[in-house]
Structure 1
Amino acid sequence: MTQTFDIIIVGAGMVGAALATGLGQQGLRVALIDRVSPAPFQADATPDIRVSALSAGSERYLTQLGAWPRMLTMRATPYRRLAAWDNTPGPWARLFPHSLTEVEFDAGNLSAPHLGHIVENRITQLALWQSAEALPEVTLLTGHSVQGLSQQPDCANITLDDGTELQGQLIVGADGALSRVRDLAGIGVTRDQYEQQAMVISVRYRGPVEDITWQGFYPTGPRAFLPLHSAGDTFPGESWGSLVWYDHPARLAALKAMTDTELKAEIQRHFPERLPELTHIDAKASFPIARQHARHYYQDRVVLVGDAAHTINPLAGQGVNLGFQDAQCLQGLLKEAQRSGDDLAGEPWLKRYEKHRRPANQRMMLAMDVFYHLFSNAIPPVHLARSLGLGAARALPFARNQVARYAMGLEDQLPAPIQHIVNRLPGLGSL
């Protein structure tokens, strides 16, 4: 027997679960499919190694969905400052003191309580699942994967691995960078692999929870610190944090092969001096970095959101924020289609979704590429250019604050000078 829904969402990660919740709140019948369910929250558990820097714009959306209050009862760490500086050695480093090339964004200068929150991915996902489960319009189908997809003029069908048939007006692929739905719909991608990889390390450090996240830039890539929560009474005077080390694959493989004691010493030697004293390494993992963009965001009755549509260099932690913006945009357009009595997969609506989201995602992808190529080398002229650029950013608080508001999801456009640079980059039309 075929089960019928208005919309079928494949992938119940953060973005898919957010979209399911929003559409369910609008009264649409939604099926949400995933192979696994999030684990229950345990207050004494060590942090998830996967964390995200959620912007103020994402917080607003999660509040509308009813998930943000749930997240705050679990764990979410606000950060009020964000700093970046150049650690490249060379002749220009002596001419530009560190204090002149460090840029710091401060929530106080934006009349905001914070710039965002660092949250474990499993907490965000769990809170969204709880919000979705509370809606009678949302049906969660877990423990299953998609085996087949077919499209007809008036509906689309999904076949699960146990033979279950689902039918809906619209299929949403929210199933990540290796999207099965995207492949079944015949939507291709463009992909550029970066030379570097990223290593994420979950650590405890001595000291209180910090209110700043920072990145020091090296020729081999940035090294970043993200503050998490207090380690509690079990480890008095200590806090949890997440480190990110970008480097060439061979270097990261050597780091992963070290004992925790060796790795801890290596981190303290090679991270910026402001890194607090580490007391423990809990987990580590590395992954390749690639820029990937779907050639189009929809095909007939299939539409893509989040990483299924685009992946971005994680340099500024904007990936999930872009995914939430996709979900919010699509949710709003489907609400309009619903009010008009239109087909939820009507091309005018899906075309509007792509028209809104592709340029916005493209801007952020290219902005991250500017930073990646500008900072990931030691070529003297480039080193000079970025030193001058960081110095100018430090001296021009208005432009700096515009960048911060864009990253926070409070502005739709990059500042004009940066947008001008992005527009001149080659390959704009192919993304």
Structure 2
Amino acid sequence: MMKNKVIVVGGGMVGAATAVKLAKQGCQVKVIEQRVINAAEVLASDKVDIRVSAINRFSENLLDELGAMATLRAHRHAPYQQLEAFERSGDSLLFDCLDINTTHLGHLIENNLIQASLWQQFPAHDIEVLEISHPLSAIEQDDQQVTLHYAEQQFCADLVVAADGGQSMLRQKAGIGVTGWQYGQHCMGVLIKLDAPQQVKTWQQFKPTGPVAFLPMQAPYANLIWYDDSSKLQGLKKLPAAELKQQVLDNFPPLVGDFEVIEHAVFPLARQHANHYSQGRIVLVGDAAHTINPLAGQGVNLGFQDVVALADKLNNADDIGASQHLQQYEHTRRKANLLMMSMMDACYFGFSNQVTPLQWARSRFLKMANNTGLVKNWVLKYAISGKVG
């Protein structure tokens, strides 16, 4: 008898994508979520989410396959055609979709819209959503199934997917340890309403105090990202909108038009990597497996790559919870995720300082990379394929 019953714990972007992907492969899927959403209401709302993701072409292809991208194209989304990284004027590395003869490098889309577009696919694939407010109290496993205990309720499956975020209770209860650290800085996101036509270039400036970035959402909105000392950002967080706007003007390169601050939030930066991606019939995906410095907005893209790799290893399996499939998934994804995490750290630590030799080296690197095309080709290949190798 086929063992294909799956419980996905966590219905965020990566968890929802996992649920739809596995259901399309014939699995019987349930999603356990503390905060159930009404997908239709989210998609119809005019409220703009301050949380935004830079979806690369690999992730776009997955969302197309799952039926979500068509929904997103009918709502707020912003294809970007150029990506620029620079430290100061004259030291710039520019990536352009025209270099690879395509229409765009990716999309900037609000997180809640991505989640809702995936939830909208649940009914067509008989995915059952279980709203559970109680914390996970215990896990029982044997060679046949895994059972999750929530207060007086119990749920059994052949495979449980932990997609419950960086503080994953499921990962902790399964006894899977993590390694990582908190960065010395925090990050502020500032949602603005911009008096300018649709922008197609996203940029990031490296500064000694940390990078700042501009993420163009569907006009008239954009998101500003500001890395800095935690105490400074906590102070800025308390400012009225007009005073925060002046701080942006003082600390960011010139924007393309006047703007209004709509919303802002500050969050800590952390790197964390699970020591293993599975334990028994439990497997980790997305932030439950790895959290990354959000420097290049790769977090959800790595999570979507987890989804595709896991589904590939489980496709046509007689027992989707069998250890050999989960170990193959871990072998495929853990090294790739570690490489991307390390590359983001190298950029972060290499550019966020005022050491003179490093300043000279950074300037030379950006000029050389922009002129030789080697780094450009690598990054553009990643934008299309999602592969780091």
Matched positions, count: 384
* Residue equivalent to 1:425: none
* Residue equivalent to 1:24: 23
Kept in 1, the 8 Å contact 2:64–2:70? The answer is yes
Is 2:369 the counterpart of 1:388? no
Residues 5-404 of structure 1 mapped to structure 2, 5 A cutoff: 6-39=5-38, 40-41=41-42, 43=44, 45-87=46-88, 98-99=89-90, 101-136=91-126, 138-145=127-134, 146-161=136-151, 163-230=152-219, 239-273=220-254, 275-337=255-317, 341=318, 343-404=319-380
The structural deviation recorded for 1:229 is 1.4
The structural deviation recorded for 1:46 is 3.0
* Residue equivalent to 1:95: none
Gaps of 5+ in 1: 88-97, 231-238, 415-431
The structural deviation recorded for 1:409 is 4.5
Query: Secondary structure of 2:249's partner?
Result: helix
Q: TM-score, normalised by structure 1?
A: 0.86
The structural deviation recorded for 1:336 is 3.7
| Identical pairs, percent | 40
* Residue equivalent to 2:387: 412
The structural deviation recorded for 1:135 is 1.1
Query: Secondary structure of 2:125's partner?
Result: coil
Query: Secondary structure of 1:38's partner?
Result: coil
Runs of 4+ in 1 over 6 A off after TM superposition: none
Tell me: CA distance 1:374–1:17, structure 2 relative to 1, closer, same or farther (3 Å).
Answer: same
Kept in 2, the 8 Å contact 1:200–1:244? The answer is yes
Q: TM-score, normalised by structure 2?
A: 0.96
Kept in 2, the 8 Å contact 1:170–1:301? The answer is yes
Kept in 2, the 8 Å contact 1:203–1:278? The answer is no
Kept in 2, the 8 Å contact 1:268–1:277? The answer is no
CA distance in 2, matches of 1:314, 1:210: 21
CA distance in 2, matches of 1:152, 1:243: 48
CA distance in 2, matches of 1:411, 1:258: 39
Kept in 2, the 8 Å contact 1:38–1:125? The answer is no
Superposed CA deviations along residues 203-247 of structure 1, whole A, max 9, x for unmatched, are 0111101001000110011100000112xxxxxxxx110000000
Query: Secondary structure of 2:120's partner?
Result: helix
| Root mean square deviation, CA, Å | 1.5
* Residue equivalent to 1:233: none
The structural deviation recorded for 1:5 is 6.9
Kept in 1, the 8 Å contact 2:214–2:222? The answer is yes
